[in-house]
Structure 1
Amino acid sequence: MFKSASVERNPFSSLILLLLLIFAGAVVFTGIAFAIGISVYGAETMFQLSAGNMSNLDLIKLVQIISSIGMFVIPALIYAKLQNKDWLGYLKIIPVPAYLALLTVVIMFSASPALEYTMQLNKGMKLPFFLKEVEAWMLQQELKMELMTKRLIMMNSIPALLVNLIMLAIIPAFGEELIFRGGFQQIFARWFGNYHVAIWLTAIIFSS
């Protein structure tokens, strides 16, 4: 069992602790994912994945799920447990009033046109001539990611649908909220003494 701190650390120490936990979680759980992958699919397949071969989608999903849990969910829970006795309250894991949930859904749908417009602006962005090689590389990477995303979300069974929901919706939503809102945002709020600054700074980091 972890021994919870009765008094919160200073913001800088908390930030360093959280970053170390994220790094350690990413390393350890990626190692676990690779160990499981080797035992299930063989060492050769794992080496091919490390070299950039993305043909085995099941293996990619396995690594993605395990590494995401290790990088976001586990570090946030350990950090909160070390940081405060009321770790659930610290992470803001509390019931949400129905009207706030409804308001969130309305805002999300209302913001869709603006988000789509922003995406179109991003696609049409042109870098200066001297950065044309960088622009070509960025476009190539975007196309690769788009192709990989399309392959990952293709499904022909209920189990495949459930795996995709876990990988693309549940773990990212839950884990990233824990680490950013429950972790970084709390640190910045104590650091700057202003929740508005903390929210905006966390949002900038989250979207980068």
Structure 2
Amino acid sequence: MEIYNTQNPIASKSNWLLSFVMMVLITFGVLILMQGLGLLLIKPLFGIPIDEMMSLFTGQSENSEGRMAFLFVQGLGTGFGFIVAALIIAKVVDKADLGFQQQMGRFKFIGLAITVLVMFGGILFNGLLIDWNANITLPESLSHIEKMMREKEDELMLLTKYLTDFDSFSEFLMGLLVIGLLAGLGEELLFRGVLQPKLQFYTGNAHMGIWLVAFIFSAIHLQFYGFFPRMLLGAIFGYLYHYSGSLVYPVIAHILNNSFTVILVYLNKLGKINFNIEESDQVSLPFALLGLVILLIGLKLFRDKSHNNPAHG
């Protein structure tokens, strides 16, 4: 079971709306401030003038330091921003104990091995969801909405390709740090570490809390054509935390998932493998279904091993 111990009145069920509004305001406030700080540091750290920043954040910069600067702002403004927001909400507003010592005590090697198995199955099955979600067609009456969402998707894909089109090993390492480590740690600390136990408490239902957080987690990425596979990943992370009571597992799982994609993109850039981040049909149906079986078996094994862990509870 997740750890989030607080007796502060603002975190009570009767104040759920106020608590949620405070969480939203603090999170977006911190993200804006951290990204603003990142922007202020671009010129002194990377020597990029202000008039070039627009091309930088539209993925069209030709500056040799542009990608590193963009990754820096992303890491500071989102990854590290989520960490700061989560700690402010938990420690300052809710005055909650996240029980980090207990969470580390619940982490076991067998759990880590099963987590890798779970993510292997999840990535395979998600390939099917990615392809299905990417090819959803809305009714003719909603064609204008579909057009806007497709245009937004194209813009985000352009940024993603720019961010991951590494020209050097140092850029690749920076990508792993920002997209893999900081994103995994920051998003899990906020969404699974803080929001999930709060929503489970407010709804009185663990599964509802997990899927609500997974929905919110996917929605904030503003990518409809990647919404469902990202929501599934969020749910997987949520169950890893719920079953084990240790945030270490979803953090590692999130880092593995993000880093795996970054590594594939880099190996493709080096000509070692054939991988196109824009293609959605990269997993066949039999392998996707095999992945679903592995995922379900892995989650059951993880739940059983976690419940048999003397430190759990």
* TM-score (normalised: structure 1): 0.83
Counterpart for residue 125 of structure 2: 114
Matched, 1:24 2:35: no
Q: Which runs of 5+ in 2 are unaligned?
A: 220-313
Counterpart for residue 196 of structure 1: 207
CA RMSD of aligned residues (A): 2.7
Counterpart for residue 179 of structure 1: 190
Q: Which runs of 5+ in 1 are unaligned?
A: none
> How far does the alpha carbon of each residue in 1:4-53 deviate from its partner, in whole angstroms, 9 at most, with x for none?
x9723324243233222202201211210111124342221235546x46
Query: For the residues of structure 2 that align with 1:27 and 1:7, how far apart are their CA atoms?
Result: 30
Q: Which runs of 4+ in 1 moved over 6 A?
A: none
Decide whether aligned partners of structure 1 residues 141 and 162 sit closer, same or farther in structure 2, where only a CA change above 3 A counts. Answer: same
Classify the secondary structure of the residue corresponding to 2:197: helix
Counterpart for residue 129 of structure 1: 140
Query: For the residues of structure 2 that align with 1:6 and 1:111, how far apart are their CA atoms?
Result: 33
Counterpart for residue 43 of structure 1: 50
2:60 to 48, 54, 59: 54
Identity of aligned residues (%): 26
Matched, 1:149 2:160: yes
Counterpart for residue 164 of structure 1: 175
Query: For the residues of structure 1 that align with 2:55 and 2:25, how far apart are their CA atoms?
Result: 29
Are the counterparts in 1 of residues 31 and 77 from structure 2 also a CA contact under 8 Å? Answer: yes
Aligned residue pairs, count: 203
Decide whether aligned partners of structure 1 residues 85 and 199 sit closer, same or farther in structure 2, where only a CA change above 3 A counts. Answer: closer
Counterpart for residue 79 of structure 2: 69
* TM-score (normalised: structure 2): 0.57
Decide whether aligned partners of structure 1 residues 93 and 21 sit closer, same or farther in structure 2, where only a CA change above 3 A counts. Answer: farther
Are the counterparts in 2 of residues 33 and 63 from structure 1 also a CA contact under 8 Å? Answer: yes
Counterpart for residue 10 of structure 1: 12
